[in-house]
Structures are given as C-alpha cells and as structure tokens.
Amino acid sequence: MKYRSLGSTEEKLSAIGLGCMGMNHAYGTPDDKESIATLELALDLGINFWDTADIYAAGENEALLARVLKSKRQEVFLATKFGFVSNPGAGNAQFDGSPAYIKIAVERSLKRLGTDVIDLYYAHRVDPNVPIEDTVGAMSELVKAGKVRYLGLSEASVTSLRKAHAVHPISALQSEYSLLTREAENNVLPVCKELGISFVPFSPLARGLMTNTLDVSKLDDSDFRKSLPRYQEAYKANNENLANGFAEIAAGKNHSAAQLALAWVLAQGEHVIPIPGTKRRKYLLENADAVDLQLSDDDLKAIDDLLATYPNTGARYSESQNKLVDRT
C-alpha cells in the first residue's frame, strides 16, 4: 500500500481507503461474514482508512466495524459521520447540524463503535438552518474533550469550508468525485489543496458503474441506486457503452476497469484519498492494486475522448437529494 497525509497532519492514511457503507446499507444483500473477512483483509493489505457513518443501516454499520475494531482498534484510522436523522436515500432526508444534536450523536457513535475516540469526525452535510461556525464550533469542543481527533465536512461548498476552517482546522472534505461526477474540479479540489485539506472522494467508482460489472436492470428494488437518476433505464445504453469502452482501455494496460477508475482519481492530486466501497475480499484485493497503476498523458486523453463520446451519463442526485448538497 502507499500512504498519503491527512491534511497538514503527520497522519498517514492508505491512499486507497475502504468505504464500508455498502456492507449492510444501500447496495445489495448484506453478508456479515464476508464483510468481516474484508475488513480483516484490509488491515493485512495496509488499508487503514475506514469510512462509516451513523446513518448507515441505522447504526448497524458502525456496530459491524466494532466487531473487528474490538481487537484491531490501533491499526485503523477510523472515520465516521453524523447529522442525517432520516434515511438520506429517501426524498425527505432530514439533517441536524445543531450543537445540541452533535453532543448526542457522538456518544451514540462512540458506543456503537466500541471506542473512546473517533479519528476523523465529519458533518455528513452542512445544515442550511445552522451557521457552519456553530456546527464546527461544537465539533471542536469534541476535539478538546478528546472524543474526536480531527474534523471533516462532507458535500460542503468552498465558502462553508473556509468559514469552518477559520473556526477549527478542517482536515478532510468528503464529497462525491469520480470520472462521472466532476463538480469538485470547479473550485473544491484547488481550495482543498490551498488550505492543506485532504479531499476524500466518495463513490469513486461511480457506485459501481465504472467497474463495467454493474447491470442496472438487475438492481433490487431496495437498492439506493434505484433512487438516483444515473442508474435509470434512460441512461443505461450510454453508461454501458462508456463502461465497456473504459474496460477496453483498462485491459490495454492489463488492469481492470475498477483499477483504472481509481488510478484516475488518485492522479488528480496527492491530497486526494478515495474510499472505494466493497463488501468482498475479491474486489478489495483488486482495488488495493490500483495504487501502482500509473497513467500516461495518452491514457488520460483516451479517457477524456471516451467520456466526450458518451456524455449522457445522467445526474448523480435527484432534485430532493440535491437539496442537502451545499452550494452556497
């Protein structure tokens, strides 16, 4: 494994982290035994940067990780998030970034995770009804109290990021970023670099699309992707052609499409630390190897040309899901 620094700190995080959400939330059928084996293998591979949230499986995702953390806590750089008080997949997702709620949420996460301290605590979104200074002020109290080590935001605008960073150093910003979701390039990626903040792309494989193994027609009705525009029949032909072409470029480099997608994300800057999600050892092993894949200018051009050939990829979020993405 290769390592990248967390923000301006000395902490070394695996350049490929592990997104744990899909182990029992949002995607497919949970298999706890395989998920535990995946978490254990992650440590054997040096993948120390684990990502969860209190909302995933209504706390059961944190509880699942606790089963491995029990004996391996010191080996993990543990990130979790607070704020959603109803399922973010539902159109009516509610968010609470108030100081009073943060105090409650952190105690619940610590208990479920079976730990005394969270390494990186994110506000899962920016609460439009609470000044970001108040949210981050309350989060910084948790650092003072030794319950949390570093602070992060998710899907925050650069305006909020700057305001937050002035209250307490923000170490990481986690937002969706992949070959298909490029909004962060406008100003978030350069501002993170300027401020010494790690940028943590979530859904770096476009929720499986860029692996060329996802058949959106076969998704379960309960699968979260069913609620997202990009995974609807209207975009299926475009996205399958795109993923096929992408897999061909990857095969030309003797790698899988998933590996090429991750290598592309990693190539966007040393401050970028993606957290691909999987519940399977097979995929974890494959994803870990992406750190050694180097992309040439010709590779990058071939990828750009392919994306330009298939532009009808569909929006990442519906209108209601977009409401909690901070664009202030």
Which residue among 56, 121, 235, 310 is the active-site one?
56
- Return the number of the residue (226 or 301) whose C-beta is nearest ligand NAP: 226
CB of 144 to ligand NAP, least distance (A): 25
- Return the number of the residue (145 or 185) whose C-beta is nearest ligand NAP: 185
* Cα–Cα distance for residue pair 51/17, rounded to 1 Å: 8
Count other Cβ atoms within 10 Å, centred on residue 249: 17
Q: Are 139 and 148 contacting, i.e. CB atoms less than 8 angstroms apart? A: yes
Binding site for ligand NAP (CB under 6 A): 19-22, 27-28, 51, 124, 154, 174, 202-208, 211, 213, 258, 275-280, 283, 286-287
> In the chain, which ranges are E strands?
3-5, 12-14, 18-19, 49-51, 77-82, 118-123, 148-154, 170-176, 198-202
Backbone angles phi, psi at 120, to 5 degrees: -135, 120
- For this structure, is 231 an active site residue? no
CA distances from 302 to 169, 297, 308 (A): 39, 9, 10
* Cα–Cα distance for residue pair 250/149, rounded to 1 Å: 39
- Return the number of the residue (19 or 169) whose C-beta is nearest ligand NAP: 19
CB of 204 to ligand NAP, least distance (A): 5
Q: Are 77 and 11 contacting, i.e. CB atoms less than 8 angstroms apart? A: yes
Count other Cβ atoms within 10 Å, centred on residue 111: 13
- Return the number of the residue (83 or 169) whose C-beta is nearest ligand NAP: 83
CB of 242 to ligand NAP, least distance (A): 15
CB of 251 to ligand NAP, least distance (A): 14
Catalytic residues: 56
